[in-house]
């Protein structure tokens, strides 16, 4: 209970911090022109913070659900190729078909994510071993990445690569409140729907046979996790591009709050994912590099070493 | 006598062929048969894990139509695999079976697991882990226990204690158990009835005294009891080989 409150407090603090800071520039601006100051706050900083909140939460929740489904702590939307599939879907929609409305982009990304997850299950099977799962995910990511590059290379617009670069690396910059809603509302809905699957996902911790004997319809659960996950992650990728490792890391910390229960960890994983992404965004904003780093680069720089540590830790534990 | 479990005409293509059985309350029934004879398939069909044709009723209720919470009170299934699916704390794993905290504490105490209740399942010995998995099934006191090889991985003392615990517990509570087991001596000693399976069919059923030393066991397993030990049947002499 105390930990849950601390988590909520951290989230609120990170959100306020993200909207209000740096405060100096903003207060100067407000003193000069109050309405302009408010506009910066509402139209620039608020959407960015809301996007970090909803995308981070979505990645955390989807990661927790996918890890529970595969009974594997190394599964996540990015390592299973879901985010790359969504990116491919959005790129094809935007640059091959020339549709750039948010609805079309979201639909394309969701279809891409669905395709990637369906391919993963077909390749690796419903309860794959770590190696099979990661290899299948790697293959799907590589394929989706190559097809994304191909789609950009063949795009009618000569600026497609340059244009898509920031988005592909993951970016929360210069999005409108409308765009934030296009990512945030599907994410919120998906998280609520995923949470309803928590009892079945917890029962899956006892193995498929036992979950079935307890009356859980596993085919329906599997289908729902995949469709809901693809819907939420796809909608976020369409607006902000692919951001890695949050979906891997957040559930691992979340399960420390749920005594290891995989299904119950969905909500805490969403909250932790939101905090992580907001903090990552604050970090790239305040890094003294002269220009803003794409946020996907920042999460990968911290997340990839964590992933390596996790693999080493698992190997060490298997040996001992 | 009204049956606790009534299963009629259960079939799974290629695995189970028209199996029907009835279990009385308070009884322990052992399911014996060679590898691949359909014991696990029969348990799966009754537990609703495999969608078999035919009908299953526990106390007159079709378990597949019951919501999860009530189903945990109707039937409990222990799979043969003791693999760790997810490293939960022992007590939490038991709690996922749907029992109340009081039932969980009592079951853990009965299986002498009180000392390891707060340790993670992957850090327990194989025998302790088997007992924790069993506690998950026993704790909510389901009307019907379906146990696939419950004594596998247990040491000799615990094999006997478990079977005694089951037999005495069932008699006291009026639950029934269907236990797939390879140990014919344990089956003969503890079961009220024995069901013998071969090639997906129930080939014989009866009290242990009639069944275990009978012709059916010899024919199905190819073994016989001689001097208190099970031995393979000697193949009939081939008249040509003696020349």
What confidence score (pLDDT) does residue B240 get?
65
Q: What are phi and psi for residue B66, nearest 5 degrees? A: -90, 145
Cα of A120 to nearest chain B Cα, Å: 20
* DSSP label of A156: S
Distance of CA A312 to the CA centre of its chain: 24
For tokens 């790697």, the residue is A138
Of A199, A204, A259, the CB nearest to B92: A259
- Taking a C-beta distance cutoff of 8 angstroms, is the pair A230, A82 a contact? yes
In whole angstroms, what is the distance from residue A248 CA to residue A304 CA? 10
- Lowest-pLDDT choice from A210-219, A307-316, B63-72, B151-160: A307-316
Least CB–CB distance from B96: residue in A205, A212, A215:
A205
Task: Report how far residue A234's alpha carbon sits from residue A117's, in angstroms, rounded to the nearest whole number.
Answer: 11
Highest mean pLDDT among A157-161, A173-177, B139-143: B139-143
Q: Tell me the mean pLDDT in the region B3-25.
A: 92
**Overall average pLDDT of the A295-304 stretch:** 85
- Give the pLDDT band (50/70/90) at residue A121: confident
pLDDT of residue A77 exceeding 90, the answer is: no
For testing the chain B interface, which of A206, A221, A255, A262 should be mutated: the one with the most B CBs within 10 Å? A206
B74 touches B61 (CB < 8 A)? yes
Pairing label, strands B5-12, B53-58:
antiparallel
- Over residues B182-209, mean pLDDT: 92
Question: Confidence band (pLDDT; 50, 70, 90) for B178?
Answer: very high
Q: Tell me whether residues B47 and A202 touch, CB distance under 8 A.
A: no
Which tops the pLDDT comparison, B200 or A31? B200
Decide: helix, strand or coil at residue B58.
Answer: strand
Which of A194-198, B85-89, B119-123 is predicted least confidently? B85-89
Contact B64 A261 (CB under 8 A): no
Looking at per-residue pLDDT, the higher value among B25 and A226 belongs to: B25
Q: A205: nearest CA in chain B?
A: B86
Burial zone of A36 (CB within 10 Å; 0-12 exposed, 13-18 middle, 19+ buried):
exposed
| pLDDT tier for residue A117 given thresholds of 50, 70 and 90 | confident
Q: Per the omega criterion (within 30 degrees of 0), is the bond before A22 cis?
A: yes
| pLDDT(B75) > 90 | yes
A89 sits in the region (left: phi over 0; alpha: psi -120 to 50; else beta) called alpha
Determine, for residues B71 and A215 on separate chains, whether the beta-carbon distance falls below 8 Å. yes
Q: Does residue B61 or residue A319 have the better pLDDT? A: B61
Query: Would you state the pLDDT for residue A202?
Result: 92
- Report residue B158: phi and psi, to 5°: -70, -30
State the first-to-last Cα distance of chain B, in angstroms, to the nearest integer.
Answer: 60
Q: Are B86 and A203 within 8 A, CB to CB?
A: no
What is the C-alpha to C-alpha distance for residues A207 and B85, in angstroms, rounded to an integer? 6
**Quick check: B52 and B19 in contact, CB under 8 A?**
no
* Closest alpha carbon within chain B to A218: B49
Could you tell me if A223 and A197 are in contact, meaning their C-beta atoms sit under 8 angstroms apart? no
- Kindly list the residues from chain A whose CB atom is less than 8 angstroms away from the CB atom of residue B79: 207, 209-210
pLDDT of residue B45: 95
Span B206-228, mean pLDDT?
85
Residue to mutate among A212, A215, A217, A257, with most B CBs inside 10 A, is A215
Query: Does the pLDDT at position A279 exceed 50?
Result: yes
- Please report the pLDDT score of residue A241 as a whole number: 85
- Using CB atoms, which residue from B47, B67, B85 is nearest to A205? B85
Beta strand B144-148 with B75-78 is parallel
Residues A161 and A184: their CA atoms lie apart, in Å, by: 27
Contacts of A212 in chain B (CB under 8 A): 47-49
pLDDT in tens, A243-272: 888 898 999 989 888 888 999 999 999 999
State the alpha helices, DSSP H only, in A154-265: 160-168, 177-195, 198-204, 208-213, 218-240, 246-254
Average the pLDDT over each of A200-209, B134-143, B233-242 and give the range with the smallest value. Answer: B233-242
**Chain A residues interacting with chain B (CB cutoff of 8 angstroms):** 71, 199, 202-207, 209-210, 212-216, 259-262
- pLDDT, tens digit, for every residue of A4-46? 777 777 777 777 777 776 667 777 777 777 777 777 777 778 8
Q: In this structure, is the dihedral angle defined by the CA atoms of residues A61, A66, A72 and A75, taken in order, positive or negative?
A: negative
| Dist CA A43 CA A53 (whole Å) | 16
Q: What is the pLDDT of residue A138?
A: 87
Is A260 in Cβ contact with B120 (below 8 Å)? yes
Tell if the CB–CB gap between A260 and B81 is shorter than 8 Å: no
Q: Is A212 a residue whose pLDDT tops 50?
A: yes
H or E segment to which residue A104 belongs: helix A102-124
pLDDT over 90, % of chain A: 23
Q: How confident is the model at residue B243 (pLDDT cuts 50, 70, 90)?
A: very low
Mean pLDDT for all residues in chain A: 84
The token pair at B160 is 């006997």
ipTM of the complex: 0.91
pLDDT at B241 over 70: no
On whether the CB atoms of residues B199 and B41 are closer than 8 A, the answer is no
At B237 the pLDDT is 64
Instruction: Report yes or no: B159 and B91 within 8 Å, Cβ to Cβ.
Output: no
Residue A203 contacts residue B96 (beta carbons within 8 Å)? yes
The SS3 of residue A84 is helix
Span A216-250, pLDDT tens digits: 988 888 888 888 988 899 899 888 888 888 898 99
| Per-residue model confidence (pLDDT) at position A101 | 82
């Amino acid at each position: 209970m105390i930990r849950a409150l601390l988590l909520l407090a951290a989230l609120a603090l990170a959100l306020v911090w993200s909207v209000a800071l740096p405060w100096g520039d903003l207060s100067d601006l407000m003193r000069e022109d109050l309405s302009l100051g408010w506009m910066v706050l509402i139209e620039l900083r608020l959407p960015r913070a809301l996007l970090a909140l909803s995308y981070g939460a979505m990645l955390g929740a989807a990661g927790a659900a996918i890890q529970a489904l595969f009974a594997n702590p190394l599964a996540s939307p990015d390592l299973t190729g879901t985010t790359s599939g969504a990116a491919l879907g959005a790129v094809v929609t935007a640059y091959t078909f020339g549709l750039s409305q948010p609805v079309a982009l979201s639909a394309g990304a969701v279809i891409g994510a669905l395709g990637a997850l369906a391919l993963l299950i077909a390749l690796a099977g419903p309860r794959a071993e770590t190696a099979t799962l990661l290899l299948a995910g790697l293959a799907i990511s590589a394929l989706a990445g190559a097809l994304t590059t191909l789609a950009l290379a063949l795009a009618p617009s000569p600026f497609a690569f340059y244009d898509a670069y920031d988005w592909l690396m993951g970016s929360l910059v210069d999005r409108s409140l409308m765009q934030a809603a296009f990512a945030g509302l599907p994410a919120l809905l998906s998280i609520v729907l995923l949470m309803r699957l928590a009892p079945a996902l917890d029962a899956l911790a006892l193995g498929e046979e036992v979950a079935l004997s307890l009356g859980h319809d596993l085919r329906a659960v599997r289908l729902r996790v995949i469709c809901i996950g693809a819907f939420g992650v796809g909608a976020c990728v369409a607006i902000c591009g692919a951001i890695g490792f949050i979906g891997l890391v957040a559930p691992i910390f979340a399960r420390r709050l749920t005594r290891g229960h995989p299904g119950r960890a969905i909500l805490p994983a969403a909250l932790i994912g939101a905090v992580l992404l907001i903090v990552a965004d604050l970090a790239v904003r305040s890094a003294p590099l002269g220009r803003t780093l794409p946020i996907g680069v920042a999460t990968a720089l911290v997340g990839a070493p964590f992933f390596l540590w996790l693999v080493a830790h698992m190997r060490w534990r298997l040996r001992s | 006598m009204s049956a606790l479990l009534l299963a009629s005409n259960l079939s799974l293509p290629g695995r189970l062929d028209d199996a029907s059985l009835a279990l009385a309350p308070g009884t322990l029934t052992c399911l014996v048969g060679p590898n691949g004879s359909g014991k696990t398939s029969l348990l799966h069909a009754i537990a609703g894990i495999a969608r078999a044709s035919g009908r299953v009723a526990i106390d007159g209720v079709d378990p597949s139509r019951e919501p999860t919470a009530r189903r945990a009170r109707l039937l409990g299934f222990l799979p043969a695999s003791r693999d760790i699916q997810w490293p939960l704390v022992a007590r939490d794993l038991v709690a996922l079976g749907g029992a109340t905290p009081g039932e969980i504490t009592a079951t853990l105490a009965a299986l002498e697991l009180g000392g390891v209740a707060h340790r993670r399942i992957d850090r327990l010995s194989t025998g302790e882990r088997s007992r924790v998995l069993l506690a998950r099934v026993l704790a909510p006191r389901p009307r019907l226990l379906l146990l696939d090889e419950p004594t596998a991985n247990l040491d000799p003392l615990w094999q006997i204690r478990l079977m005694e615990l089951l037999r005495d517990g069932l008699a006291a509570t009026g639950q029934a158990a269907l236990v797939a087991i390879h140990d014919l001596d344990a089956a003969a000693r503890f079961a009220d009835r024995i069901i013998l399976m071969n090639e997906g069919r129930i080939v014989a059923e009866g009290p242990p005294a009639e069944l275990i030393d009978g012709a059916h066991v010899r024919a199905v397993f190819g073994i016989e009891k001689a001097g208190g030990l099970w031995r393979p049947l000697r193949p009939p002499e081939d008249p040509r080989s003696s020349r």
